[in-house]
Amino acid sequence: MKEEIVTRFAPSPTGYIHLGNVRSAIYPYLIAKQAGGKFILRIEDTDQARFVEGATELIEETLSWLGMKWDEGPEVGGEHGPYFQSERREIYKKWAMKLISAGRAYVDDTPEEEIQKYREECNARKVPFLYRNFRPEKLKFEWVEGKPIRFLSDPKRREWKDEVMGELSAGPEVQDDIILIKKDGLPTYNFAHIVDDAEMGVTHIVRGVEYLSSMPNYLAIYEALGLPRPKFVSLPHVLAPTGNKKLSKRDGAKSVTGYRADGILSEAMLNYLCCLGWNDGTEQEIYTMDELVSRFSVEKIQNSGARFDETKLLWYSGQWIRKIFDERGVDALYLRTEGFWPEEAEGASEEYKKQVLSIIYDRLRVLGDLKTMTGYFFRDPEIKIEMIENNKFVKKMSELERALSLRKTAEILGEIEEWNAENIQAGLNRALEETGRKPAELFSLVRISLSFAEFSPALNLTMEVLGRETSLARIRKVITAISNE
């Protein structure tokens, strides 16, 4: 019978959920789904000092937003719960007692002051702090409440295979009597993740390369417990834009929640993060979730850091906005826009906002751009004569030429019987002939008069959505402003 593939995402609820965290969830999700296996969400909340209220909910919301449903974990339950480490104390005690009974774990009742003094001596001598060189000669193989439990190491050369980094090994100098259970009765990560993965049947452990240095200690615990090794998949860091260090908040990258608030589409975030350090060997860049599940392979994960590029992320978002519109229509895209319209849009009909969206969508990078790019569709813009005067095409015209050109354009457009994009364009073309202006001059002048924005959609489409009355009123208002200058 073929072994079921089981992966997990095991974040700590400490607040900020960064891009590297999410990528560490995407890859195990794809591994499990591709194999028809199971993806588990487990919350590693044993570090109570760093626990942040609401962080677990944020993790769950982020995964759900990305379309990554966990098969076992908080909210959905499962046969391997509880899924919060803080609720699994008795399970860790049971496994710790196995080591104690086998003579491979002992109670550490050495006063903390003495341990600290030894640590300082090591620092002064510039030698590694290894507790195994300080451990008492006579060890107590028992469980004592309120006292840490340490692993009794057997330092030796250990070798292992990493699915991304290849064949690895480390000598005895990096192995130590690490703490398994803290004095508060909760386990350390070093022990808890091994127990939990064993209990939950995890077959593939996907996490950052920062854990590689601890692997010899992990392998020693696997051996002492008689556990088979799962497959290890170590992910290189997501790097800062400079490429010389791990990405952090100080490098300007937002949290996933921050990008979501800006209006980055979930499909774009998933797509970008998956391709940040992975490529299937083709030129394809835009992938749906189904395509990622079918095409993903661990072998194609690069073994060096991937540089974060916010411009590329925004490009992905723009591509996905257009993809949704082109493939599913304006209604599907409109459903994503709640909360991203300018305040002036409140009270506007859905139908009108959909009209606006249908002519502006291809200029959006994120849905948050709606706030800054569509305001003039919902309110009359402030007239800024300097914008007219500074336009590289319009500034060649005198004030009289501007006023006369706009007056003639308004006159011609006012004669249109059926106000639609085709007839508006015909009217604009006629205005070009009768004013003798170049398209860049006249159309720029009319566009600014309508929007006083740096950019706007095609002029005839903009006027069609604004309507005859609003379009002509704005042009005439600018004529008056120019004439009074």
Give the mean model confidence (pLDDT) for residues 99-110: 96
DSSP β-ladder status, 231-235 and 238-239: unpaired
Q: Which of 117, 156, 249, 395 is catalytic?
A: 249
What is the structure's pLDDT at 11?
Answer: 94
pLDDT greater at residue 370 or residue 484: 370
Mean residue pLDDT of the chain comes to: 95
The string of pLDDT tens digits covering residues 373-390 is: 999 999 999 999 999 999
What is the structure's pLDDT at 14?
Answer: 83
What is the structure's pLDDT at 244?
Answer: 80
Residue 48 has pLDDT above 80, yes or no: no
For residue 82, cis peptide bond before it (omega within 30 degrees of 0): yes
State the residue for tokens 């194609």: 300
pTM above 0.85, yes or no: yes
Residue 250 has pLDDT above 80, yes or no: no
Residue 129 has pLDDT above 90, yes or no: yes
Q: How confident is the model at residue 1 (pLDDT cuts 50, 70, 90)?
A: low
For residue 205, list its beta bridge partners.
232
The string of pLDDT tens digits covering residues 280-296 is: 999 999 999 999 999 99
| Torsions phi, psi for 219 (to 5 deg) | -65, -35
Residue % of the chain over a pLDDT of 90? 91
Residue 12 has pLDDT above 60, yes or no: yes
Give the mean model confidence (pLDDT) for residues 250-263: 87
Cα–Cα distance measured from residue 208 to residue 244, given in angstroms and rounded to the nearest whole number = 17
Annotated catalytic, 477? no
**In the CATH scheme, what architecture does the domain 6-84+239-307 have?**
3-Layer(aba) Sandwich (3.40)
Domain ranges of the chain: 6-84+239-307, 88-235, 329-377, 385-484
Greatest Cα pair distance in the chain = 104
Residue 209 has pLDDT above 80, yes or no: yes
Q: Residue 182, Cα to own-chain centre: how many angstroms?
A: 33
Q: Residue 333, Cα to own-chain centre: how many angstroms?
A: 20
Which whole-number Å values give the CA distances from 22 to 193, 266, 469, in the listed order? 19, 12, 50
Give the mean model confidence (pLDDT) for residues 200-212: 97
Cα–Cα distance measured from residue 448 to residue 363, given in angstroms and rounded to the nearest whole number = 17
Cα–Cα distance measured from residue 348 to residue 160, given in angstroms and rounded to the nearest whole number = 63
For residue 278, list its beta bridge partners.
301
Residue 140 has pLDDT above 60, yes or no: yes
Residue 485 has pLDDT above 70, yes or no: no
The string of pLDDT tens digits covering residues 392-416 is: 999 989 999 999 999 999 999 999 9
State the residue for tokens 């296996």: 37
Cβ of 342: how many Cβ atoms within 10 Å?
Answer: 17
One-letter identity of residue 484 = N
Cα–Cα distance measured from residue 293 to residue 35, given in angstroms and rounded to the nearest whole number = 9
Q: Residue 198, Cα to own-chain centre: how many angstroms?
A: 29
Evaluate whether 58 touches 41 at the Cβ level (below 8 Å): no
Does the domain at residues 385-484 carry the CATH identifier 1.10.10.350?
yes
Residue 195 has pLDDT above 90, yes or no: yes
Residue % of the chain over a pLDDT of 70? 99
Q: How confident is the model at residue 199 (pLDDT cuts 50, 70, 90)?
A: very high
88-235 CATH fold: Rossmann fold (3.40.50)
Residue 303 has pLDDT above 70, yes or no: yes
One-letter identity of residue 96 = A
Q: How confident is the model at residue 248 (pLDDT cuts 50, 70, 90)?
A: confident
Residue 56 has pLDDT above 70, yes or no: yes
Cα–Cα distance measured from residue 134 to residue 110, given in angstroms and rounded to the nearest whole number = 10
SS (HEC) of the chain: CCCCCEEEECCCCCCCCCHHHHHHHHHHHHHHHHCCCEEEECECCCCHHHCCCCHHHHHHHHHHHCCCCCCEECCCECCCCCCEHHHCHHHHHHHHHHHHHCCCEEECCCCHHHHHHHHHHHHHHCCCCCHHHCCCCCCECCCCCCCCEEECCCCCCEEEEECCCEEEEECHHHCCCCEEECCCCCECHHHHHHHHHHHHCCCEEEEEHHHHHHHHHHHHHHHHHCCCCCEEEEECCEECCCCCCECCHHHCCCCHHHHHHHCCCHHHHHHHHHHCCECCCCCCCCCCHHHHHHHCCHHHECCCCEECCHHHHHHHHHHHHHHHHHHHCHHHHHCCCCCCCCHHHCCCCHHHHHHHHHHHHHHCCCCCHHHHHCHHHCCCCCCCHHHHHHCCCHHHCCHHHHHHHHHHHHHHHHCCCCCCHHHHHHHHHHHHHHHCCCHHHHHHHHHHHHHCCCCCCCHHHHHHHHCHHHHHHHHHHHHHHHHHC
Residue 194 has pLDDT above 80, yes or no: yes
Cβ of 399: how many Cβ atoms within 10 Å?
Answer: 13
Same fold, 6-84+239-307 and 385-484: no
Residue 32 has pLDDT above 60, yes or no: yes
Give the mean model confidence (pLDDT) for residues 118-124: 93
